[in-house]
Amino acid sequence: MAPDQFAPGQFAMLYAFGVGEAAISYSGNPASDAPIDHTVRAAGATTTALANLRVGDALAMRGPYGRGWPMAAIAGRDLIIMAGGLGLAPLRPVMMAALLRSAGARRVALLYGTRSPRTLLFASDRHAWAPRGAQLLVTVDRAGPDWTGHVGLVHRLIPRARIDPANAVAFLCGPEVMMRFSAAALVDAGVAPARVWLSLERNMKCAIGHCGHCQFGADFVCWDGPVLRYDRIAARLRVPEL
């Protein structure tokens, strides 16, 4: 597969010359003729170097790698997308594909949580998704007097989602503690564990399942994931500190 032909949920290894390499999910339109988009948060030396690149600068890319979202599972079902913070980036291609009639989703609901209003991603996209039929529910951890939306944890939005849990598929991406609570809340609401999918983040080096840096129990996140089914990994998810 060429670097510009990827499935939603896959990632590429981006290399900042002289600094290092990082696994970054594709966040653009999965159509083969669309530009390649990656969304990078400056968190370490490599991602800071990538974020500081300007038009005309060079970087290296290899990929796509990994198993993406099971898009075929959307057909005929309600789709609930739950994202926390930067976790909306790997789910953006899902939204783009799911809002096309060819994807076959009955209804689409996006539940998105982030720290504060100023850290919300893809404002223009979110404004365009609702008129195309998606239900958008947004919440923040902390808000000022100008914020009129929800405040609190994203999984608390689940009862507001206009979906049929018995006929729903759920895709989750965000901090692991957010996904753990959200997946459990979805199951409690009636979504089958086998129809809940999580995208995990681990330290990746080779991206082809050889080096072992991203081993997660019996799985390698780069090769068997990063998207994995909840009922397979629930017992391995980290227990949050209370």
Question: What is the reported pLDDT for 242?
Answer: 38
Question: What tokens appear for 5 in the block?
Answer: 């032909």
Question: What tokens appear for 162 in the block?
Answer: 């206009």
Q: Which of 90, 145, 144 is nearest to 112 (CA)?
A: 90
- State the residue for tokens 């009639």: 101
pLDDT class of 51 with cuts at 50, 70, 90: very high
Question: What is the reported pLDDT for 108?
Answer: 94
Question: What is the reported pLDDT for 34?
Answer: 75
Q: Could you read off the pLDDT of 12-24 as tens digits, one per residue?
A: 999 999 999 999 9
What mean pLDDT comes out for the span 36-60? 92
Using CA atoms, how far residue 102 sits from 68, 72, 99, in Å, is 18, 11, 8
Q: Could you read off the pLDDT of 192-206 as tens digits, one per residue?
A: 999 999 999 988 899
pLDDT at 91 over 90: yes
The sign of the CA dihedral 88, 93, 96, 102 is negative
Q: Could you read off the pLDDT of 97-112 as tens digits, one per residue?
A: 888 765 678 899 999 9
Question: What is the reported pLDDT for 97?
Answer: 87
Question: In the 8-state DSSP scheme, what is residue 151?
Answer: E
pLDDT at 239 over 80: no
What single string gives the DSSP state of each residue in 131-178? Answer: GGTEEEEEEESS--TT--SEES-GGGGGGGS---GGGEEEEEES-HHH
Do the beta carbons of residue 175 and residue 41 sit within 8 Å? no
Q: Which of 22, 46, 8, 12 is nearest to 213 (CA)?
A: 22
What mean pLDDT comes out for the span 4-11? 87
At residue 15, the 3 state secondary structure works out as strand
pLDDT at 226 over 70: yes
Question: What is the reported pLDDT for 31?
Answer: 73
